[in-house]
Structure 1
Amino acid sequence: MTALGFLYPGHSGEDDYPRIEQLLGSDIRVDLVHTDIGEDAHRVDALREMGSPQRLAAGVAELRLAGADAVVWACTSGSFVHGWDGAQEQVRALAQAAGLPASSTSFAFVHAAKEIGARRVAIGATYPDDVAQLFAGFLRAAGIETVDVVSSGVITAAEVGTWTEAEVLALARAADRPDAEAVLLPDTALHTAAHIPALEKELGKPVLTANQVTIWEGLRLADRRVNAPELGALFTREPVVQA
């Protein structure tokens, strides 16, 4: 049994996790612990506080007691707003507190994009533009080019959690560009687990979404590979050997 531990901020799109667990197989367990988010706002100061060490550490003990093999901070904006170096320090502190391999959704996007060989991507963000541009900068620090960023300007995770499949598809279509090798949809508040095949069929290319890559990152940390076509190209392709 492989047990994956996730620290999830508040309550919005967390039902993606049991859905994904069902698609992975009976020997993988997904444990989710909710962290206190403070103020629900896609604003830089609020996002930095949401991912502060004391807020993350509060949920670590529960995951450790559950027998997690790895832990991932299941939040994109609450990690990349710290910048590349700050996000690395956040993960180091989480690993130290948990005594386990650790990562975050922001790094999950980087690793997943490289896994599928996507060096040029388009971003469809729920966030305001200033926050979305910080994500593009984070990717740039990892050597991933962003060909365009589309921002929806949504302020709260609670609102994002109400989005329908039609709204998710519309965001992905708006973000896509012919020279983008993949489309990235950050924000773990966004329900996407049930929509990935439709998204990839619509765009004709890989689509990486926050909860999808977060689960994949947990598996990567636990040294597990799972073939799950319902979760898109990321879960079906062989790893790309980087030149």
Structure 2
Amino acid sequence: MTSDTWGWRARVGILVIHKDAVPEAEIWGMAPPGVTVHSARFASPRTPGSDFQGDQAAALVESPDIARGLEQLGQLRLDAICLCFGSSSFLAGAGFDELFAEQASLRAGGTPVTTAPLAMLDAMRTVGISRPHLVSPPWFTATSYAAAERYFADCGLPFAGQMRFDLGAGWRDRETYEIYDLGGQWEVRPEEVYRQARESLPAHADGILIPGSGFRTLEAIEPLERDLGVPVVTSNQACLWQCLRMAGVRDTGIGTGRLFDHRELPRVRESALSGKAS
């Protein structure tokens, strides 16, 4: 018997870049009963074969795809919309997201809008992360990392450490910005995310932050929290959590980490983490 898939509790919208399948898969996978997810796509503001260039704030604000997506999603009687893309916001700097969300809401006919960086900020503050360890996707360039570090530091959340996920020997001779263009996103395995995040956690970090909407990490959240005793916040997890809060849905039983169920996790002994990279 087919279950009722109508969004009778909430309907959320997401804006996703043109070749990213992960946000829909992970957000649908997390969504509690009675919540539906509706997407619109936009061309990535990064030109294939190159790093981010130019005015990223203008690239988002002036994108015809985003304007069209907001207008179309705005006609679906949604409860909230999230821009599932962080790099341009990081490069634009702290303060951009609030202005973008306000203007985007107007474009969407009044539907509340948030962004992945805003969701991650609120999520980290909710679970008590103040010194996050950054685990970034393999296509995160030096430009992207520097922008993210500055963005979160300006918001009062400096990184305790950072590592870029390693896809393996076959990818190490590629320019970082080429990895996504060549399909590296399809090669990410959650068990390897778990292993690398666990091995790299600094002793002085009080949580893990995993940005990157196209970075498949959902299955690694709860094992990392159980085994390390620190909260984990990922981009797609935070995006759904924020949209559900905006919709007034406070489901705590969907099995995607402390952010949703607010369990108190015992911090592992500092000695157990000594020798980890910082």
Q: CA, structure 1 residues 40+226, in 2 after alignment: closer, same or farther (shift >3 Å)?
A: farther
Distance in structure 1 (CA, Å) of the matches to 2:55 and 2:217: 22
- 3-state SS of the aligned residue for 1:194? helix
Distance in structure 1 (CA, Å) of the matches to 2:164 and 2:54: 18
Report what 1:192 is aligned to: 217
- The alpha-carbon deviation at position 46 of structure 1 amounts to 7.2
* Contact 1:79–1:90 under 8 Å retained in 2: no
Distance in structure 2 (CA, Å) of the matches to 1:5 and 1:111: 19
- The alpha-carbon deviation at position 230 of structure 1 amounts to 1.6
Match of 1:215 among 229, 233, 240: 240
Larger Rg belongs to: 2
Match of 1:63 among 54, 60, 73: 73
Distance in structure 2 (CA, Å) of the matches to 1:41 and 1:207: 32
Match of 2:39 among 6, 21, 32: 32
Distance in structure 1 (CA, Å) of the matches to 2:35 and 2:29: 12
Q: Where do 1:161-180 residues align within 5 Å?
A: 161-180=186-205
Q: CA, structure 1 residues 82+175, in 2 after alignment: closer, same or farther (shift >3 Å)?
A: farther
Task: Give the paired residue count.
Answer: 236
- The alpha-carbon deviation at position 174 of structure 1 amounts to 4.6
Give the structure-2-normalised TM-score.
0.77
Distance in structure 1 (CA, Å) of the matches to 2:84 and 2:75: 19
2:242 is aligned with 1:227:
no
Give the structure-1-normalised TM-score.
0.87
Report what 2:103 is aligned to: 93
- The alpha-carbon deviation at position 172 of structure 1 amounts to 1.6
Q: CA, structure 1 residues 162+78, in 2 after alignment: closer, same or farther (shift >3 Å)?
A: farther
Q: CA, structure 1 residues 41+222, in 2 after alignment: closer, same or farther (shift >3 Å)?
A: farther
Distance in structure 1 (CA, Å) of the matches to 2:222 and 2:88: 27
* Letter of the structure 2 residue corresponding to residue 106 of structure 1: P
- In the alignment, structure 2 segments of 5+ residues that lack a partner are 1-8, 166-174, 265-278
* Letter of the structure 1 residue corresponding to residue 35 of structure 2: I
* Contact 2:41–2:66 under 8 Å retained in 1: no
Match of 1:133 among 128, 131, 146: 146
Identity %: 19
Report what 2:134 is aligned to: 123
Match of 1:43 among 36, 51, 73: 51
Report what 2:276 is aligned to: none
* Letter of the structure 2 residue corresponding to residue 28 of structure 1: V
- In the alignment, structure 1 segments of 5+ residues that lack a partner are none
- 3-state SS of the aligned residue for 1:44? coil
Report what 2:12 is aligned to: 4
Distance in structure 1 (CA, Å) of the matches to 2:97 and 2:229: 32
- 3-state SS of the aligned residue for 2:77? coil
Higher RCO (CA < 8 A, seq sep 6+):
1
Alpha-carbon RMSD across the aligned residues, in angstroms, is 2.4
Q: CA, structure 1 residues 40+175, in 2 after alignment: closer, same or farther (shift >3 Å)?
A: farther
* Contact 1:53–1:94 under 8 Å retained in 2: no
* Contact 1:125–1:187 under 8 Å retained in 2: yes
Report what 1:145 is aligned to: 158
